[in-house]
């Protein structure tokens, strides 16, 4: 545990905010968080519209399981699906081992993880992350031991499980070696500066959490990374959780949303016609097909519903999505929707039943009242 929070907002939030800002700037699509713990960062990232694939890895499956279900889509995600696909995958495994499913990411984050590894394992981590996974960018954060004297009451390391805490020079030596070996460049920054007055020179202690932001040089091939075809497929991690968010890029979802819009607009136009509020529409573009049927031309829906245009792009795509959908009846030439007023038809059917009995309306009332009385007395 880090000692008493001396930062507001707390340091862990600042580290996550650093990642969020990076993703916003770089429009990052595929992110894997190593040492994701209880998935707090992943949870924040799932709301970022740029991201399409979000993965987390931790050696401790139990801690991941605690909150992993909070990564599932919410009802609102189904009611208003986004236009980007988002998949989330959680793996239990060690960052010292390779797994082919983690190659090809845009960004790997390692937030306060490396100090939990033995130094020999940090070497393996470097090989796995920079040599094998070979993402475009890597963000590594780790405690800056030079800041420790400013942490009230701290004796030894900041956490009982830390195997080391590096000075800025030690972190930079490791980072520059990694760059040379695997073809990356790096800049150094951090979060959590010493409070004013703690030091005459703000740089004396540096940031509480030091950060290295690595960027891969050139393409995968000339960056000393094995191309996919030369790498054996390895699957050493266990998939704990996987979920795909509903997205408009999925044709079934898109079709469902378009059909909902069509049903809303056809019903609205039908009502307007029934209420005699749209004389023009009534006479010009809605042709009465049957007693309670209404024909709504697709071009009319196309022009009155901007969402349909946005969703479908072209009128022919719109038509295509409506064809063969069980909730939509198109005219034979597929240029209009045929709407039947089912409630009105039902009312008519009831009225016709009434007529069939040969009773007057008053007699019918008494007839049904008597039936109801009998039914009540049977209870
Ligand atoms: N990244 C988290 C965050 O930003 O809130 C906090 C990380 S926590 C301090 C360190 C995590 O590293 C723990 O969840 C631990 O289980 C995980 N860890 C330790 N050794 C690991 C290894 N070899 N492979 C994967 N995860 C490991």
Output the six-digit token pair for 112: 């306060």
Q: Which of 22-36, 126-140, 358-372 has the lowest mean pLDDT?
A: 358-372
3-state secondary structure of 8: coil
Other C-beta atoms closer than 10 Å to the C-beta of 207 total 23
| Gap from CA of 278 to ligand 1 centroid (Å) | 64
Output the six-digit token pair for 364: 């019918």
Output the six-digit token pair for 274: 């029934």
Q: Is the dihedral of CA 366, 370, 372, 373 positive or negative?
A: positive
pLDDT at residue 20 is higher than 90: yes
pLDDT at 269 (0 to 100): 84
pLDDT at 203 (0 to 100): 78
Q: Phi first, then psi: what are they for 362, rounded to 5°?
A: -65, -45
Please, which residues bridge with residue 207 across strands?
193
Strands 293-297 and 287-288: antiparallel
C-alpha–C-alpha distance, residues 209 and 172, integer Å: 13
Q: Mean pLDDT throughout 239-250? A: 95
Average of per-residue pLDDT values in the chain: 85
| Gap from CA of 113 to ligand 1 centroid (Å) | 5
Q: Hey, whose CA ends up nearest to atom 15 of ligand 1?
A: 35
pLDDT at residue 276 is higher than 80: no
Ligand 1 nearest-atom number relative to CA 16: 4
Choose among 101, 95, 103: nearest CA to 140. 95
Q: Mean pLDDT throughout 143-163? A: 95
Q: Which of 33-37, 143-147, 347-351 has the lowest mean pLDDT?
A: 347-351
| Gap from CA of 292 to ligand 1 centroid (Å) | 65
Q: Phi first, then psi: what are they for 219, rounded to 5°?
A: -90, 175
Q: Mean pLDDT throughout 24-31? A: 96
Ranges of CATH 3.40.50.150 domains, the chain: 11-244
Alpha helices in 129-167 (DSSP H): none
Ligand 1 nearest-atom number relative to CA 57: 25
Ligand 1 nearest-atom number relative to CA 60: 16
Q: Which of 18-22, 64-68, 355-359, 360-364 has the lowest mean pLDDT?
A: 360-364
pLDDT at 341 (0 to 100): 62
3-state secondary structure of 298: helix
Burial class (CB in 10 A: 0-12, 13-18, 19+), 281: middle
Question: Could you tell me which CATH number the domain at 11-244 has?
Answer: 3.40.50.150
Choose among 243, 245, 255: nearest CA to 75. 245
Q: Mean pLDDT throughout 122-144? A: 98
| Gap from CA of 106 to ligand 1 centroid (Å) | 20
Q: Is 59 in the pocket of ligand 1 (CB under 6 A)?
A: yes
pLDDT at 350 (0 to 100): 56
C-alpha–C-alpha distance, residues 257 and 252, integer Å: 9
pLDDT at 344 (0 to 100): 54
Q: Mean pLDDT throughout 158-170? A: 97
pLDDT at residue 246 is higher than 50: yes
SS3 content of the chain, % helix, strand, coil (to 5): 45, 20, 35
pLDDT at residue 248 is higher than 60: yes
CB-hemisphere CA count at 13 Å for 349? 6
- Model confidence pLDDT, tens digit, residues 79-99: 889 888 999 999 999 999 999
pLDDT at 271 (0 to 100): 82
pLDDT at 194 (0 to 100): 84
Q: Phi first, then psi: what are they for 336, rounded to 5°?
A: -150, 160
Output the six-digit token pair for 37: 């713990």
370 within 8 A of 299, measured Cβ to Cβ: no
- Model confidence pLDDT, tens digit, residues 100-131: 999 999 999 999 999 999 999 999 999 999 99
pLDDT at residue 49 is higher than 90: no
| Gap from CA of 89 to ligand 1 centroid (Å) | 16
| Gap from CA of 162 to ligand 1 centroid (Å) | 11
E strands, 95-165, where?
A: 107-111, 137-143
Q: Mean pLDDT throughout 209-217? A: 98
pLDDT at residue 359 is higher than 70: no
pLDDT at residue 227 is higher than 60: no
pLDDT at residue 292 is higher than 80: no
Q: Is 60 in the pocket of ligand 1 (CB under 6 A)?
A: yes
| Gap from CA of 209 to ligand 1 centroid (Å) | 15
Ligand 1 site-directed mutation target among 58, 138, 139, 240, most atoms within 8 Å of CB: 58
C-alpha–C-alpha distance, residues 213 and 175, integer Å: 9
Other C-beta atoms closer than 10 Å to the C-beta of 374 total 9
Better-predicted residue by pLDDT, 230 or 288:
230
Q: What pLDDT band is residue 373 in, cutting at 50, 70 and 90? A: very low
pLDDT at 294 (0 to 100): 82
Q: Is 337 in the pocket of ligand 1 (CB under 6 A)?
A: no
3-state secondary structure of 53: strand
Q: What pLDDT band is residue 201 in, cutting at 50, 70 and 90? A: confident
31-45, 246-260, 299-313 — most confident range: 31-45
CA distances (Å), origin 196, targets 192, 200, 202, 205, 283: 12, 8, 8, 12, 76
72 within 8 A of 243, measured Cβ to Cβ: yes
pLDDT at 267 (0 to 100): 86
pLDDT at 230 (0 to 100): 60
Bond into 37 cis (ω within 30):
no
C-alpha–C-alpha distance, residues 213 and 21, integer Å: 13
What percentage of the chain carries pLDDT values higher than 70?
80
What percentage of the chain carries pLDDT values higher than 90?
66
Q: Is 212 in the pocket of ligand 1 (CB under 6 A)?
A: no
| Gap from CA of 105 to ligand 1 centroid (Å) | 19
């Amino acid at each position: 545990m880090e000692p008493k929070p001396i930062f507001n907002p707390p340091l862990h939030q600042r580290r996550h905010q650093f990642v969020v800002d990076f993703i916003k700037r770089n429009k990052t699509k595929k992110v894997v968080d190593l040492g994701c713990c209880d998935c707090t960062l992943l949870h924040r990232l799932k709301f970022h519209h740029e991201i399409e694939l979000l993965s987390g890895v931790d050696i401790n499956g139990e801690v991941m399981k605690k909150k992993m279900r909070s990564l599932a889509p919410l009802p609102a995600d189904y009611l208003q699906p986004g236009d980007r696909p988002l998949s989330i995958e959680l793996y239990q495994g060690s960052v010292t081992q390779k797994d082919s499913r983690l190659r090809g990411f845009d960004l790997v984050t390692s937030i306060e993880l490396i100090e939990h590894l033995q130094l020999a394992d940090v070497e393996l981590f470097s090989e796995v992350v920079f040599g094998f996974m070979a993402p475009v960018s890597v963000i590594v954060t780790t405690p800056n031991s030079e800041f420790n004297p400013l942490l009230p009451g701290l004796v030894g390391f900041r956490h009982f499980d830390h195997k080391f805490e590096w000075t800025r020079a030690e972190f930079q030596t490791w980072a520059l070696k990694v760059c040379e070996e695997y073809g990356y460049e790096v800049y150094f920054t951090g979060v959590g500066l010493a409070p004013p007055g703690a030091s005459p020179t703000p740089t004396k202690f540096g940031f509480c959490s030091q950060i290295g932001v690595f960027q891969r040089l050139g393409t995968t091939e000339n960056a000393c990374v094995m191309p996919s075809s030369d790498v054996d497929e390895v699957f050493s991690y266990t998939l704990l959780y996987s979920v795909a968010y509903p997205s408009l890029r999925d044709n079934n979802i898109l079709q469902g949303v378009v059909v909902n819009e069509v049903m809303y607009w056809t019903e609205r136009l039908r009502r307007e016609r029934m209420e005699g509020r749209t004389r023009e529409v009534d006479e010009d573009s809605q042709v009465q097909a049957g007693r309670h049927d209404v024909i709504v031309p697709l071009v009319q829906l196309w022009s009155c519903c901007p969402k349909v245009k946005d969703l479908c792009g072209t009128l022919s795509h719109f038509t295509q999505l409506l064809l063969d959908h069980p909730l939509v009846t198109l005219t034979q030439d597929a240029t209009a929707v045929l709407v039947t007023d089912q409630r009105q038809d039902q009312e008519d059917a009831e009225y016709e039943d009434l007529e069939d009995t040969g009773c007057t309306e008053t007699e019918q009332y008494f007839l049904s009242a008597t039936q109801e009385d009998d039914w009540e007395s049977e209870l």
